[in-house]
């Protein structure tokens, strides 16, 4: 995924090139999740398909762009044999997307204001990302994280205070009314991490939520 979930980082061009070349050398397909492809704040995402079109399989969704997860509509592109195989599976697993979803996306993709809309959304998300970063530094001073270059999240390491992020997330929700994703959802290495989303709440609620994370870590409130 590029930008990735949960850290929001972008692949460096040299790393992307190395990954693409390695996949070609080994004769394996490289699956690229493009859910956040347009949500980039700094830098530029690498186009792996341009680097290795014979082995790259792109997976996309309209859940993040244009932000309609309820449509349950996505796409795949890549080598012809892969797309044909996926089409055979899709025909039996999903019975085809709804007409409404397809018509909506067709209208969206051909809308002349599409990129202006995306630019305005990214601008708003960037402001909220900056607010979240500032609030984390203010209220959760021991938190360790990288400023995300894209996507919708800050992936925060709360060690040594938090050792079980699943338990911490449960307590945070029940006592402080703040929802975060425990890092264990992304593997055992995330036991001290939580994923904070910054796009779904207005600025004042976002800052208040992060303030409450700080209170929870201090055992107050």
CA angle 49/54/55 to nearest 5° reads 75
User: How confident is the model over 29-53, as pLDDT tens digits?
Assistant: 999 999 999 999 998 888 999 999 9
Q: What are the backbone dihedrals phi and psi of residue 150, each rounded to the nearest 5 degrees, phi first?
A: -160, -170
User: How confident is the model over 105-129, as pLDDT tens digits?
Assistant: 999 999 999 999 999 999 999 999 9
Question: Which strands form 30-33's sheet, in the order they lie side by side?
Answer: 30-33, 56-61, 74-77
The answer to whether residue 186 is domain-embedded is: yes
Question: Which strands form 181-182's sheet, in the order they lie side by side?
Answer: 153-157, 193-197, 181-182
Q: Where are the beta strands (DSSP E) in the chain?
A: 30-33, 56-61, 74-77, 153-157, 181-182, 193-197
User: How confident is the model over 53-110, as pLDDT tens digits?
Assistant: 999 999 998 888 888 888 888 899 999 999 999 888 877 777 777 888 899 999 999 9
Among 67, 96, 111, give the residue marking a domain's end. Answer: 111
Q: What is residue 220's predicted lDDT score, i.e. its pLDDT?
A: 56
Q: What is residue 221's predicted lDDT score, i.e. its pLDDT?
A: 46
CATH code, 21: 3.40.640.10
Q: Indicate whether 156 and 176 sit together in one domain.
A: yes
Whether the bond between 6 and the residue before it is cis, its omega within 30 degrees of 0, is yes
Q: Identify which of 27, 25, 33 has the alpha carbon closest to the alpha carbon of residue 5.
A: 33
Domain with 87 in it: 13-111
């Amino acid at each position: 995924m590029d930008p990735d979930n949960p850290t929001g980082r972008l692949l460096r061009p040299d790393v992307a090139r190395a990954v693409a070349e390695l996949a070609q050398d080994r004769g394996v397909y490289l699956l690229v999740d493009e859910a956040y492809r347009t949500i980039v704040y700094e830098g530029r995402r690498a186009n792996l398909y341009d680097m290795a079109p014979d082995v790259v399989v792109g997976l996309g969704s309209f859940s993040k762009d244009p932000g309609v997860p309820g449509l349950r509509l996505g796409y795949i592109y890549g080598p012809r044999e892969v797309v044909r195989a996926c089409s055979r599976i899709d025909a039996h697993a999903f019975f085809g997307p709804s007409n409404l979803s397809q018509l909506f996306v067709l209208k969206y993709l051909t809308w002349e204001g599409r990129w202006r809309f995306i630019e305005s959304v990214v601008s708003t998300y960037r402001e909220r990302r900056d607010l979240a970063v500032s609030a984390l530094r203010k209220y959760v001073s021991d938190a360790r994280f990288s400023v995300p270059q894209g996507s919708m999240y800050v992936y925060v390491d709360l060690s040594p205070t938090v050792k079980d992020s699943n338990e911490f997330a449960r307590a945070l929700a029940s006592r402080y009314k703040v929802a975060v994703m425990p890092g264990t959802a992304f593997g055992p290495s995330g036991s001290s991490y939580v994923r904070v989303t910054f796009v779904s709440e207005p600025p004042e609620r976002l800052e208040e939520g992060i303030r409450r994370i700080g209170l929870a870590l201090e055992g107050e409130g």
